[in-house]
Chains A and B, each alone.
Chain A
Amino acid sequence: MTQYLLSTLIWLPIAGGFLTLLLGDGSRNLARWLSLGIAVATFAFSIPLYLGFDGSTAAFQFIERTAWITTFNADYSLGVDGIALPLILLTTFTTVLIVAAGWDVITERTAQYLGAFLILEGLMVGVFAAMDAMLFYFFWEAMLIPMFLIIGIWGGPRRVYATIKFFLYTFLGSVFMLIALIYMYLKTGDYSIAALQQLPLTATEQRLIFLAFLAAFAVKVPMFTITPDGSRELSWLVIALSLIAVVYIGFVALVQQDMKKLIAYSSIAHMGFVTLGAFLAYDIVANTGGVQGAALGIDGAMVQMISHGLVSGAMFLCVGVMYDRVHSRQISPYGGVINTMPKFGAFMVLFSMANAGLPATSGFVGEFMVILASFKANFWYAFAAGTTLILGAAYTLWLVKRVIFGPVGNDHVAALTDLNRREFAILAILAVAVLLLGLWPAPLLDVMRGSTHHLVEQMLSTKLPTP
């Protein structure tokens, strides 16, 4: 069974998604239960992946390999390391919550909604598990299709504009990465990521390939070790972009009138921490060769990424809970929600605290590690990153003050009903996860240890042709 564990995690939700699509809206409840069953089963299958994983080594595990396209010498090869594993777990975990969260909220085209999310889940696991660059690109681009439809059909106002923009931007970024991949493939004759990492590249080649990858995704960090010299040289660029994201976007979040937008901006700021931590590592190894500091930055980035997945997800869900009752995402129609929805208020305050990076929540661990690491690189990096603690607290607490606390704002708020059992269960599970990760992050850090050190070693390596 463990032999095909990764394939199961990819194809079970995809097959289940198509089955759900086939059911159609005629049997809406059946579609709901079926997709919940598939999502839970997928999550269940990802647990042996965690239990069977050996965190002490950087080697890929649960490897599957079959020849796929002989013309391109591309393989269907899957495997996980300590970086991919937590992301796969996050994916399978949140999909269960997504299916549950949409239970009686999504009343139009329910089967299509659930099917699209299940298919998306499978493709995302594929992205994380792919060890072949062509397979990776295949899953990466295919993800665009369900995302395009999800945003376009069930999105908010201006959803068509949003989804087209999203699709074209992502597509444009990806195609440059594709050319970079083809270029390297023609040099190695192999699409496996391991082979690409061995390939010697000149400084100019590395710079261009680095920029092509940057255009496609700023967060698929291990791919950047394909161009270690280019990444070290250009890490300042990403660090600058990250710091701008953290500080500038923090100010932008402060002035938002729409709760969802506010959380979206805070999400950008948090992802700024992820890229900051990852590329600080390049900066640290380039300037000081400090392996410890670099590893700290990467670990921090990973914890931040997982935590962001949980906390932002929870915050969006909280907005969803209020939207379902009042049908407004603006901040102004609310006020004093705690008086009529005490349970909900408690959860919202907890997640807001996590969002602001309060110790004992998962939000604190990642931010703290990244700030510590940035001290090792440059004091001013750390100073700029540190302002987020103030800004994050400011916009989040102000949001909570205006929405949750105070006297009951109006009749809408007075008529609010507290969480039902389904909503309570979903938010409770997320709250437990946020607290667990905040109080005891060791299980996460342990599985990453081997891979992090391997990653830092690769950052130190050079592949410039020796003159």
Chain B
Amino acid sequence: MTETSFAQFLPALPEIYLVGAICALLMFDVFFGLKKPTRTASVALLLLLGGAVATLISADFGHRQVLFSGMYIADDLATLLKLASFLFVAIALFYSGEFLGRRKLQQGEYYVLVFTALLGVLVLTSAGSLLMVYIGVELLSLSLYALVAFDRENGVAAEAAMKYFVLGAIASGIMLYGMSLLYGLSGTLSLAGLATAFSGPNSLGLILGLAFLVVAVAFKFGAVPFHMWVPDVYQGAPTSVSLLVASVPKIASFAVAYRLLAEGLGEVSGTWTQMLSVLAVLSLLFGNLIAIAQTNLRRMLAYSAISNVGFILLGFVTGTGDGYEAALYFTLVYVMVVLGTFGAILLASREGFEADEIADYKGLSSRDPSLAFMVAVLMFSTAGIPPFVGFWAKLRIIESLVNVGHLWLSIIAVVMSVIGAFYYLRIVWVMYFDPPGDLPRGQPRLALRFVLGLNAAAALGLGLFPDVLLNVCQTVLHRG
């Protein structure tokens, strides 16, 4: 029996801090926020920045600590993902401030739900056992279901939330079933225990359990054929929630896939890499092809997300540290760029004009040149054209694939990138080549514009000097 001291809990400070912050935010909203909701918004932003600081304080760089009987892992990867999550959620809330106020959604509960979703992400990044994975997934998913339905009067949002919830519940059930099979075979819930339990030849039970887990992970990622909820949620949810669903949960999905498959079941990677390669190819194929047919920008971004998830999965398909590193880099880059894209939608929207349709961007270059320029940068980045950072992300994945001899997968990936380039280019074409008609002119909103500018500048800066982020990814996965 060891003595319990405060120092033992220090590595879990981000989560502890966030739980405290949730309580504080609830109380603050009741006492000070009801009359002036913008106050709650500002406090929420400050709390998130505080969370980033807490993460840095608790971090023990270069060391991996396993706490609470193996339930909780604190390592550099967790630190990086937590920092990124705090930062990205803060940016997401900043972008959606005006929208929430205009749509009367700026209530304390909204921020609390965002915070609990974030808590789920944090738990997942540090998950050391199947139980933690499940808790994290549920915490994240339940908060997101509620957020999608947050705009009570909106029927489309309610429908999207319903679909999301029903399918999500099935996926959770599948995940639990897979976990129970693995537990039955190995007698342990800890991921480290699983790693040692399954080192021999594959049994049928293991393959079944793995298949269920892969399906659940694919659902959370939104990979084909488990993607049905993605377009409806992206299109139906309030824009601020779509922004959230599109961004930070991708980090969580990466964390689940990494902790569960790469760390816990790395010994039997041969089995799940095959399953993932099918999912990845299908996602690339369907995501890109269906995206071409979309007229709604948010729905197009949903299919684009599906195809990008295909790329992330391809990183896992390699089954090597190099590939996981590429997947991590891709995930961070993708989330950063997608935040900017939704930020641009929010900047283009206003009272009575939600810029959701692609046609709403006609002639944007003459109505709002700086916004059009930023969107063009983000689109070229997502399409993977240098000098923007999206190019390096795709290159990194393809390189890791070629490295393990998956030449055909890499050829499929690049051909689908070319097809994908078409619908990103169409946005640029609509903005730059089409006449503006009588669509509204741009509005200043300088703070939002400035942060969005930084976001686009980051896509260019990290593209010119890709070493910065590439080295970070290499270091946290201990391949330095």
Decide yes or no whether B474 CB sits under 8 A from chain A. yes
Contacts of B386 in A (CB 8 A): 137-139, 141-142
User: Given A152-B433, A153-B432, A178-B414, A71–B470 Cβ distance below 8 Å?
Assistant: yes
Q: Which of A24, A70, A167, A176 contacts B414 (CB 8 A)?
A: A176
Please tell me if the beta carbons of B399 and A175 are within 8 angstroms of each other in the complex: no
Main secondary structure of the interface of A (DSSP, over half): helix
Q: Select from chain B the residue with minimum beta-carbon distance to A176.
A: B414
- Bound complex: CA A391 to CA B273 (Å): 59
Is residue B471 contacting chain A, with contact meaning CB distance below 8 A?
yes
A252-279 interface code vs B (CB 8 A; 1 in, 0 out): 0000000000000000000000000000
Which of B403, B415, B417, B425 has a CB less than 8 Å from the CB of A167? Answer: B425
Q: Are A171 and B433 touching (Cβ within 8 A)?
A: no
Measured between alpha carbons, how far is A63 from B422 in the docked complex, in Å? 38
**Are B391 and A179 touching (Cβ within 8 A)?**
no
Of chain B, the residue at the smallest CB distance from A149 is B432
Q: In the complex the two chains form, is A175's CB within 8 Å of B417's CB? A: yes
Quick check: A148 and B391 within 8 Å, CB to CB? Answer: no
State the majority secondary structure of interface residues on B.
helix
A142 to B415, CA, bound (A): 18
Are B433 and A71 in contact, with the CB atoms below 8 A? no
Q: Which residues of B contact A167 (CB under 8 A)?
A: 421, 425
Q: Are B432 and A141 in contact (CB under 8 A)?
A: no
Chain B proximity mask over A70-82: 1 for CB below 8 Å, otherwise 0: 1110000000000
A168 contacts chain B at the CB level, 8 A cutoff: yes
- Whether the pair A152, B385 counts as a contact (CB closer than 8 A) is no
Cross-chain contact of B402 among A68, A159, A163, A186 (Cβ < 8 A) = A186
Inter-chain CA distance A61–B103, complex, in Å, is 63
Partner pick for B428 among A71, A148, A171, CB 8 A cutoff: A148
Q: Say yes or no for A145: interface residue by CB 8 A criterion.
A: yes
Contact of B425 among A137, A141, A164, A186 (CB under 8 A): A164
In Å, the complex CA distance between A70 and B470 comes to 9
Judging by beta carbons under 8 Å apart, are A168 and B429 in contact?
no
- Shortest Cβ distance from residue A263 to the other chain B in the assembled complex, whole angstroms: 24
Instruction: Answer whether residue A160 sits at the interface, using C-beta atoms and an 8 A cutoff.
Output: yes
A69, B402: Cα distance in complex, Å:
19
- Closest Cβ of chain A: how far from B120's Cβ, in Å? 32
Number of A residues, CB within 8 Å of B: 34
A70 to B472, CA, bound (A): 12
A144 interface residue, CB < 8 Å from B? yes
Q: A69-B466, A168-B422, A171-B418 are in contact. Are A152 and B399 (CB under 8 A)?
A: no
Given the known interface contacts A152-B429, A159-B433, the answer about A138 and B387 at a Cβ–Cβ threshold of 8 Å is yes
Check if B385 sits within 8 Å of A142, measured CB to CB: yes
A148 to B421, CA, bound (A): 12
Q: In the assembled complex, how far is the CB of residue A266 from the closest CB belonging to chain B, in whole angstroms? A: 28
Does A41 sit at the interface, judged by CB under 8 A?
no
- Cα A21 to Cα B429 in complex, Å, equals 18
Partner of A145, one of B380, B399, B466: B380
Whether the Cβ atoms of B471 and A70 lie closer than 8 Å is yes
Q: Is B411 an interface residue (CB 8 A)?
A: yes
Given the complex, which residues of B lie within 8 Å of A175, measured CB to CB?
Answer: 414-415, 417-418
| Pairs of residues from A and B, 7 with the lowest C-beta to C-beta distance, nearest first | A175-B414, A71-B470, A138-B386, A152-B433, A172-B418, A141-B386, A142-B386
Sample 28 A-B pairs with CB under 8 A, ordered by A number: A69-B466, A70-B467, A71-B396, A71-B470, A72-B399, A139-B386, A141-B386, A141-B391, A142-B385, A142-B386, A145-B380, A145-B385, A148-B428, A152-B432, A160-B429, A163-B433, A164-B422, A168-B421, A171-B418, A171-B421, A175-B414, A175-B415, A176-B411, A178-B395, A179-B411, A179-B414, A182-B410, A186-B402
Residues of B whose CB lies within 8 Å of any CB of A are 369, 373, 380, 385-387, 391, 395-396, 398-399, 402-403, 407, 410-411, 414-415, 417-418, 421-422, 425, 428-429, 432-433, 466-467, 470-471, 474
